[in-house]
Amino acid sequence: MVINGWGSNVGGAGSRTPRLTDCDSPARTIYLADNEDGPWRTIITKASDRDVTRCDVFRPSHLSTSKTQGIGDGRRVARARHHGGANCLYLDWHVDWVDASKMTEERWYFER
């Protein structure tokens, strides 16, 4: 799984993780999604795996619509693991499948 890190300003001055109460539309905001699997991206099975620090999604190149396969900036949300999409847990705790071609940045924004 990969976790929503959008808006956390990762690595920037004044970085902070958004709070659930910061979200304007919990039923439309993804919290967790299926992790991509590929030669540049491994499936995380334990806390000591090498890519465990790369399980957050915070830029467009991490989304399933991206063709980028870099270890740091490549696709992190699964594109083809579940029939061309990813299973996603939303902030209101419902789960839904999202077609990879419809995985947009807006689905990850806490504030709209």
What is the reported pTM?
Answer: 0.85
Decide if 14 is inside a domain: no
Structure tokens at 26: 């919990």
Per-residue pLDDT of the chain (112 residues; tens, 9 = 90+): 899 988 765 544 455 666 778 888 999 999 999 999 888 887 778 889 888 888 999 999 999 999 999 988 999 999 988 899 999 999 999 999 999 999 999 999 987 6
- Find the domain containing 60 and state its range: 2-8+22-108
Decide if 13 is inside a domain: no
Number of domains in the chain: 1
Decide if 16 is inside a domain: no
Separation of alpha carbons 68 and 58, rounded Å = 14
> Which residues 6+ apart lie within 8 Å of 9 measured at CB?
15, 16
Separation of alpha carbons 82 and 101, rounded Å = 13
